[in-house]
Amino acid sequence: MRSTVTLLEVAAAAGVSVATASRALAGKDRVSAATVVRVKAEAQRLGYRVDPIARALREGSTRLIGMVVPVIGNPFYSRLLDAVEQVSHAHGFELLVADSHADPTEEARRLRVLAGRKVDGMLLAPTVSAAARESTVPMPVDVPLVQIDRVVGPAAADFVGVDNALGIGMLVEHLVSCGARTMMYVGADDVNNSGRERWQAFGAHAEIHGVTTPPPVRDGFDVKTGVAGAEAILRMPERPDAVVAGSDLIAFGLISRLREGGVSVPENILVTGFDGTDMAQLFYPTLTTVVQPIEAIAYEAVQFLRSRIDGSDAPWRSNRIAPALRVAGSTTR
Amino acid sequence: MRSTVTLLEVAAAAGVSVATASRALAGKDRVSAATVVRVKAEAQRLGYRVDPIARALREGSTRLIGMVVPVIGNPFYSRLLDAVEQVSHAHGFELLVADSHADPTEEARRLRVLAGRKVDGMLLAPTVSAAARESTVPMPVDVPLVQIDRVVGPAAADFVGVDNALGIGMLVEHLVSCGARTMMYVGADDVNNSGRERWQAFGAHAEIHGVTTPPPVRDGFDVKTGVAGAEAILRMPERPDAVVAGSDLIAFGLISRLREGGVSVPENILVTGFDGTDMAQLFYPTLTTVVQPIEAIAYEAVQFLRSRIDGSDAPWRSNRIAPALRVAGSTTR
DNA sequence: CTGAAAGCGCTAACAA
DNA sequence: TTGTTAGCGCTTTCAG
C-alpha cells in the first residue's frame, strides 16, 4: 500500500476527472448520485485521505488552532489544554501548542510563529511576568484571537474566564457560616484581572458581612506567595480566624509553612483555595476551594473563536463562567 | 501593511526572479553576494516570511512534530510536554499535541490524524488502559516515531525513558539504610515496561539486601492503587517497616488513606514515591522519591527522532536515563 | 452534471 | 550567477 494516495488516483480508479472526484467527496456541489457512490467507494478502497497541506494552500485555511499558555507544566493550564484539545478536536481543529514560559517577549514571538504557521485562530492565556510589570496588549498579529483565563491590559479581544467575584463571594460566605470574623487575604497583585478581581471581591464581600480584614499579602499565584502569607501570619500578635488564598497553590504553600510554624489547619485557622485542582483533594487537610469550570471555559472559548474565524466582527465579548464551591477539610472542624 | 507578502513581491522589489530570491534567502545555493544583500534587505523591509504551507507542499516536510500522550492533565506528562516543546522548538520544529485519553483506539486514531497532517515525526507516550489489557503494538503509520516514557509490547521503535531498575535500587537501598527490614511494594501491574521493571527491580534489590517482602498490591499508577495498598496494610496483623510505591500519586493515595486509618508517616511506616513531582515537596509529609530526568528524556527523544527524520535506519535503540534520589520527610524520623 | 485548466507560494531542475 | 518553468495536491471557476 502506497503511503499517500492522491485524488488523481482515486479519480482515475473511478473513471472520472479530479474535479469531479473532488466535488463528489466534498458533497456540496451538484454531482450525480451514481458517481458520488463510485468515487467514495474507490476513495475508501484505496484509503484516500485529503492532503491537508495542499488543501490549506488552496483554501487558505489550515483547520489549526494555536494555543499559547504561560507554562504547560502548571496543572491548571494543562487541564485547560486538555479540555481545549477535546473541544477543538470535536470541531475538526488540531491544536498547535506553545509555551511562553511566562515571558511576554517570548509570548509575542510564539504568537507570531503560530500566525506564520497560518493557524485559523489562536487562544491566548496571557502571561504576566514579575519582570514585565506593565501590561502589554498582546495583539501583534491579525489572526482571530480569544483570551482565555485572564486578561492583560484593556481587553482587545474576546475573553472567557471564571467569574472571580462570584467565587470569592462563595468562599467568604462559607467562612462566615463557619464562624470566621476576621479574614486575611493572601493572593496575587493587580497585574492581571484575576488578581485584581479576586482581591476586590474579597474586600466587597468582607464589608458586606462586617468581617475584619488585616492587611493582605499580595504577590503572585504561586507557592512562594503562600509561604510569605504564612510568615506574615506567624508574626502577627493575633491570628485571623481564616485565610482566603488566591489560588490552591498559594493555599498549599501557606498551609505547609503554617504547619512548620506550629499552626495547624483547620484547628487553629481556616484556609480556602481557588481553582479546584486535583491535589486539593489529596492534600492534608483536603482543601476547601472553588472549582474552575474548565470544560465550560474551553467550550465557550472555542465557540467564540469559531465565530470570529467565521468572520464575525461583533464587539468584543467577555464571558464569565460560574465556579462551584467545594467544601473540604481545611474549613471543617 | 499587507498581511501576507509573497516571495514574488520580494523578488520584484529587489529586481530579481523568484528563483533567485528563493536562493538568496535559502543561502545554500550560489548567488552573488550583492543580490543576497539586496534580496534580504527587501525581504526584511516588506516583512516577508516564508509560507510554511507552500513550502511543506513543495518539500514534503512540515517541520512539525506530533506528540501523543495518554492524558495531558497528568502533571508528569504536562511537564514532559513542556520539555519536549522547548527542545523541539530549539530545533525548529513546532509541536502538534494530541491526547489519547488513555484509550488505545483513540491513540491509534490520533496517530493517524497526525500522520495525515504530515508531521515529520512523532513522539508517543503509549497508553495502557485497563480496558484493553493486551498490549497493541502502536505503529499504524509510516512516520518516524519514537516511544517515550514507556513501551507497550515488544519495542518496534526507538525508546527513551527513565532507568526504572536504577531508581528502585536507590529507594530500596535508602530504606535499608533507614533500618527497614520488611518492605511492601504497591505499584502498577505488568501491562507496560515501567510497571514490570519497577516490580522486578524491587524483588531483586529486596533479595540482595535480605529484606522481607509481604505480598504486593499491584494495579495502576494512580491514587486509587495507593488507597488499595493502604487498606491492605491496615488489614495486616503486622505492618511492614516501609512501603515502596510505584509512583508519587500512589504514595499520595497511600499516605492519606493510612492517615485516615490512624497510621502516620514516617512515624509508623516509611513511604517512598517515584517520579519526583512538584507536589511531592508540598505534600505532608514531604515525599522521598526518585526524580525523573524529564529534560534529559525530552532531549534524547528529540535527538532520536531527528536522526530518524534524517533517514537513519539503524536498529532500534533504547535509552534509559538515570533518575536522582530525593530524600524528604516520608523517610526521615 | 462533468471536464479542462488555473493557480495557491514555493523550490529545484534545467537552461542560458 | 540568474531566469524560466514544472509541479507539489487540491479546489474552483469557466466551458461544455
pLDDT(A138) > 60 = no
> What gap in Å lies between CA A120 and CA A267, rounded to an integer?
53
Q: Smallest CA–CA separation between B93 and chain A, in Å?
A: 11
Q: Are B171 and B325 in contact (CB under 8 A)?
A: yes
- Under-50 pLDDT residues of chain B: 1-2, 129-139
Instruction: For residue range B207-218, list pLDDT tens digits in order.
Output: 999 999 999 999
Greater pLDDT, A142 or A17: A17
How confident is the prediction for chain A on average, in pLDDT?
90
Q: Which residues of B touch A49 (CB under 8 A)?
A: 116
Q: What are the grid coordinates assigned to B296, written together?
A: 534529559
pLDDT(A286) > 80 = yes
Chain A residues with a Cβ under 8 Å from any Cβ in chain B: 3, 49, 51-54, 56-57, 62, 71-75, 77-79, 81-82, 85-86, 89, 94-99, 101, 113, 116-118, 142, 223, 252-253, 256, 259, 279, 282-284
Residue B116 to residue A56, Cβ atoms within 8 A: no
State residue B139 phi and psi, 5-degree precision.
Answer: -135, 55
Other beta carbons within 10 Å of A235: 8
Secondary structure letter of residue B331 according to DSSP = G
Q: How much is the average pLDDT of A7-23?
A: 91
pLDDT(A169) > 80 = yes
Q: How much is the average pLDDT of A178-201?
A: 95
Looking at residue B141, its pLDDT comes to 60
Q: Which residue type sits at B4? A: T
How far does Cα A99 stand from its chain's mean position? 13
Residue A1 pLDDT level (bands cut at 50, 70, 90): very low
> What gap in Å lies between CA A211 and CA A174, rounded to an integer?
13
Place of cell 472571580: A164
List of domains in chain B: 7-50 (no CATH), 64-161+294-319 (3.40.50.2300), 164-292+325-331 (3.40.50.2300)
A263: buried, middle or exposed (CB in 10 Å: 19+, 13-18, 0-12)? middle
Q: Give percent of chain A with pLDDT exceeding 90.
A: 70
Place of cell 483565563: A149
Q: Are A227 and A248 in contact (CB under 8 A)?
A: no
3-state secondary structure of A99: strand
The dihedral through the CA atoms of A273, A279, A280, A286 has a sign that is negative
Looking at residue A3, its pLDDT comes to 65
Secondary structure letter of residue B120 according to DSSP = S
Q: B18-25 long-range CB contacts below 8 Å, 24 or more apart? A: B25/B50
Picking from B57, B73, B96, the nearest residue to A78 by CB comes out as B73
Q: Are B333 and B266 in contact (CB under 8 A)?
A: yes
Secondary structure letter of residue B89 according to DSSP = H
Q: D7 C1' – A53 CA distance, angstroms?
A: 15
Q: Angle at CA B141, nearest 5°, toward B137 and B144? A: 95
pTM of the prediction?
A: 0.88
A231: buried, middle or exposed (CB in 10 Å: 19+, 13-18, 0-12)? middle
Q: Smallest CA–CA separation between B204 and chain A, in Å?
A: 32
Q: How much is the average pLDDT of A185-189?
A: 96
Place of cell 511576554: A104
Looking at residue B303, its pLDDT comes to 96
Looking at residue B112, its pLDDT comes to 87
Instruction: For residue range A71-110, list pLDDT tens digits in order.
Output: 888 888 999 999 999 999 999 899 999 999 888 888 888 8
Looking at residue B71, its pLDDT comes to 87
Looking at residue B16, its pLDDT comes to 92
Greater pLDDT, A105 or A294: A294
Q: What are the grid coordinates assigned to B96, written together?
A: 502538534
Instruction: For residue range A295-304, list pLDDT tens digits in order.
Output: 999 999 999 9
Looking at residue A109, its pLDDT comes to 86
pLDDT(A134) > 50 = no
Looking at residue B26, its pLDDT comes to 87
Three-class secondary structure assignment of B226-273: HHHHHHHHHHCCCCCCEEEECCHHHHHHHHHHHHHCCCCCCCCCEEEC
Greater pLDDT, A286 or A30: A286
Closest Cα in chain B to A254: B282
Nearest residue by alpha-carbon distance to C1' of D6: B58
Looking at residue A299, its pLDDT comes to 97
